[in-house]
Structure 1
Amino acid sequence: MKISSIFNLNKSQAELDFVDIDPTEDTPLFLDPFFLSKKQDDWSINATLTLRNFFQRLINLIREGSESEAKELFDYLHEPNSTCLGLSTDNPQGKGIGNQDTDKIYDSLLRSRAIQTGLIQDIEDNILFVENFGKDKLSDMTTNIITKYLLLYTQNQCRLHNIVLTPNIPSPFFWNAHDNEWQTEYTDMLIINQQKILLVPKGVVSYSKAYTPDKYYNQFVLEFLQNEHLRLQTTLVQRRNNGTQFVTKKSLKAEVPLSKEFLRQFTQEHPEVLETFKNSTDVESLTNLEIDNFNIQQIVQRLITSLQQIPSGAEHASDFHNIIIGILEILFYPHLINPKKEREIHEGRKRIDITFDNAAKKGIFYRLPETHHIPCPYLYVECKNYSRDITNPELDQIAGRFSFQRGKVGLVVCRSIENLNLFINRCKDTYRDDRGLIIPLVDNDLILLLQNHNELNQNFMDSFLSDRIRDIIMG
């Protein structure tokens, strides 16, 4: 039974920001540090900095000859059962890092010339050059190191969906980059059947197929060697009937078969090829349908029907708030991630209904800061289940919550606006006064966006928002 069912959330994977795991079995997804390093949202950046801090500390100790201290750091990298991600087929305790595996990996690192010579710079490089190291072990190491961020994320998601946390529970160990040590703390945790559970953002998991020895070897190393053999006119060069020359990858594989030892030797001689591999390889967030199997049209119709049935007014504000979270998750993923509810600012004097982290690599939420120069590290959402129109005081209240550091873009989601042109003009005034960009969305807008939703092509949503924003900032 998945998290959504255990806690009666009545939400599909598409309406949730976290991977909707079944705590009794592992889901074959992975935390990939290379993927994390490519993402630009705050959560991923902080997690990546922590990973790099740990690994640099480990490398420094190995190079200094402080083997016992390095081994002590490594001893905390056990298999984490709390995320229920990985390759197990039964209970979540299968092919991760056990004690024997930890010793093997550490011994491989200790002996590796890749460490001593500086070939390995990032934790994900281990998968290319170190023996006994695969994507499952890399994911387990990553999970252990960034457990603190997963813990904070889990707490936020549970509060967002009103899932009860158990107080005063010792957390799993996590790496503290500030203190350069492993730590644990007593805190609120999600406990299911006496098992500590950490939720993982669906936007940061992958199948770990991008940064692999096979891809590096086949698409970068062999292609480099093909060009070298052509340049040097070696015996591997063949001619077609029309006189053009070529070198087959098959002939190269026979001469230099794939092994981590070969990749180490090659990369020592040609580090620029690894650099090209890193710079040209990108990873996209998985779609909801890649994570879970469901009928998105049925979900969309259910949301539209539920939205239309919620009465306006304070009594039903919570129901409206809850359904809007799911709708925005469907519409804006993977551009906006990590929603948080009722975030306090100004030392608790003001509250924002929902905040999303801006993780956009394209589309309108990418263009707002890049093209329009409007700061947007976060997007603020205010849900107003009013039976009347929103007026200037509400707009002033929302604008007062913007700042350069937090961002100056927000959505006002409400049931209807009788005079939309007048409201747009009020948003124009706010924008012209340099108090931020406020974008209104009403029920009919959300229904239209849901009806035209396509996970693989978000052009309709992007065009709709672009037109509304253009009315505000260009009108």
Structure 2
Amino acid sequence: MKISEIYNLNKSQAELDFIDIDITKDTPLFLDPFFLSKKNDNWSQDATLTLRSFFQIIIDKIRNGEEESAKELFEHLHEPNSTCLGLSKDTPQGNGVGKRDTDKIYSSLLRSRAIQTGLIQDIEDNILFVDNFGKDKLSDMTTNIITKHLISYTQDQCNLHNIPLTNSISGYFWNRDDDEWQSEYTDMLVIDELKILLVPKGIVSFSKAYVPIRYYRQYVLNFLQNENLRINSALVQRRKNGNRYITKKTIEEVYPYSKDFLRQFTQNHPEILEEFKRNTSVKSLHNNEITEINYRNIALTLIQRLNNIQPGSETASDFHNTIIGILELIFYPHLINPKKEREIHDGRKRIDLVFDNAASNGIFKRLSDNMNIPCGFIFVECKNYTKDIANPELDQLSGRFSTNRGKVGLLVCRNIENLDLFINRCKDTFNDGRGLIIPITDIDLINILSVFNERNHEPLERFLSDRVREITL
């Protein structure tokens, strides 16, 4: 049974920021530290710092001859059942790092001398060079190390969707401030005595990019193919027209795939590994890659739901909840990790929603890169008013901006009678240096949903770009 079903959220995967796991079985998705390191949102960067902290200490201890001390740090890299991600076919039980596995992995790590020689620099490099180490074990290690980040994320999502939490022991997580494993009592999501950690859908992958076989076939073999042609080795053949060639199959027969070969090759040609890292990219999964989804039906349902909500304070919660789903649908994967009513200024002010800006392209990237507007976070105010919004609502939102938090906000409301006048008010706010506020009404959302396609953000981009241009020019 899925989280959305257990708690009657009435939301599809496209309206949720987290993986809507079935707690009775594992979902074949993985936490990939290489992918995590490539993301530019605050949550991913913070989690990556924790991963690097842990692994750097492992590296330092092994290089300093403190092998037993390093091995002790592997003690808490157990099989995590809490995310329900991985390769198990039935009840989540992990296919990853158990006690025997940690011993084997650590022994392989030492035997390979990959750390001592500097071959392994990041935790994801283990998958390339350490024997008996695959994406499932790497994902498990990652989960254990960043457990604290996943707990905080789970708490935020449960608060967003009114899911009850239980005070319980957290399990071990790596504390990079103290350089040690710790645990604590905190609010946890507990279902049938099973502690559940929700995972952002924007950070999971099928782990098919940063893998040894791709490194071998697309980079190592390519290099060896070109190198043999350059030196005109005995492996080179000639076609009838005299052109020289050499097949990858020939190279593969002479240099068969193994992690031992990858270790030796990379020690001699570290620049090829750097090229592999530099050119390997991973994108957030589309919702329909995670589960079967009919976007048209979801969009039509959200339009109907929005139209059925009457303006006014009594239905403000319904409006707020519907807007969360709409914004999650249309802005993913550019805006992620929504949090509800985050307190700032010691609780004196509250923000309806705060999204992490994870955009690698599009309007939310251009605002920062081209217009120099701080927007690490995007703030959202939802107003289910029966009357028009005016200057007080603008001042309320702009008063929450700062250089560190960001100076871009979305003001979502039911209707604006005189949009030109309100755009001019937003323009005044922007020209005064108080931030960029983008108004979005019901009709705007309905127009966007009517043509929504997750693989084509052009209509949404056009709407936002036009509205930003109106305000800033």
- TM band (smaller chain): over 0.9
Counterparts of 1:288-299 in structure 2 under 5 Å?
288-299=287-298
| Structure 2 partner of 1:12 | 12
Matched, 1:209 2:169: no
Post-superposition offset of 1:115: 1.1
| Structure 1 partner of 2:418 | 419
Deviations 1:235-272 (A, max 9, x none): 11122333332221000000000100000000000000
Post-superposition offset of 1:60: 1.0
CA distance in 2, matches of 1:337, 1:29: 18
CA distance in 1, matches of 2:178, 2:428: 47
Post-superposition offset of 1:290: 0.2
CA distance in 2, matches of 1:181, 1:435: 42
CA distance in 1, matches of 2:244, 2:440: 60
Q: What TM-score comes out, normalization by structure 1 length?
A: 0.99
Post-superposition offset of 1:353: 0.2
Post-superposition offset of 1:233: 0.5
Post-superposition offset of 1:59: 1.2
| Structure 2 partner of 1:239 | 238
* CA-based RMSD: 0.7
Contiguous gaps of at least 5 residues in structure 2: none
Deviations 1:160-217 (A, max 9, x none): 00000012x1001000001000000100000000000000000000000000001100
| Structure 2 partner of 1:304 | 303
Counterparts of 1:20-59 in structure 2 under 5 Å?
20-59=20-59
CA distance in 1, matches of 2:234, 2:433: 68
Letter in 2 for 1:339: P
CA distance in 1, matches of 2:151, 2:320: 24
Aligned partner of residue 116 in structure 1, secondary structure: coil
CA distance in 1, matches of 2:290, 2:150: 19
Post-superposition offset of 1:53: 0.6
| Structure 2 partner of 1:351 | 350
Aligned partner of residue 186 in structure 2, secondary structure: strand
CA distance in 1, matches of 2:339, 2:101: 37
Post-superposition offset of 1:94: 3.5
Counterparts of 1:387-466 in structure 2 under 5 Å?
387-466=386-465
| Structure 2 partner of 1:137 | 137
Letter in 2 for 1:188: D
CA distance in 2, matches of 1:280, 1:294: 31
Matched, 1:188 2:187: yes
| Structure 2 partner of 1:120 | 120
Counterparts of 1:29-108 in structure 2 under 5 Å?
29-108=29-108
Contiguous gaps of at least 5 residues in structure 1: none
CA distance in 2, matches of 1:247, 1:472: 60
Matched, 1:176 2:175: yes
| Structure 2 partner of 1:147 | 147
CA distance in 2, matches of 1:244, 1:393: 76
| Structure 1 partner of 2:249 | 250
Deviations 1:42-74 (A, max 9, x none): 100011111011001011111112122111100
Aligned length: 473
More displaced 10-residue stretch of structure 1: 201-210 or 64-73: 64-73
Aligned partner of residue 115 in structure 1, secondary structure: coil
CA distance in 2, matches of 1:101, 1:150: 23
CA distance in 2, matches of 1:281, 1:100: 32
CA distance in 1, matches of 2:188, 2:277: 36
CA contact (8 A) 2:80 2:94 kept: no
CA distance in 1, matches of 2:458, 2:237: 47
Matched, 1:323 2:322: yes
CA distance in 1, matches of 2:262, 2:152: 38
CA contact (8 A) 2:451 2:459 kept: yes
| Structure 2 partner of 1:382 | 381
Letter in 1 for 2:289: E
Post-superposition offset of 1:394: 1.1
Letter in 2 for 1:40: N
CA distance in 1, matches of 2:204, 2:176: 22
Aligned partner of residue 471 in structure 1, secondary structure: helix
Letter in 2 for 1:279: R
CA distance in 2, matches of 1:395, 1:63: 57
Aligned partner of residue 114 in structure 2, secondary structure: helix
Aligned partner of residue 453 in structure 1, secondary structure: coil
Post-superposition offset of 1:3: 0.1
Identity of aligned residues (%): 68
CA distance in 2, matches of 1:49, 1:240: 53
Deviations 1:112-155 (A, max 9, x none): 21111011000000000001100000000000000000000000
CA contact (8 A) 2:388 2:415 kept: yes
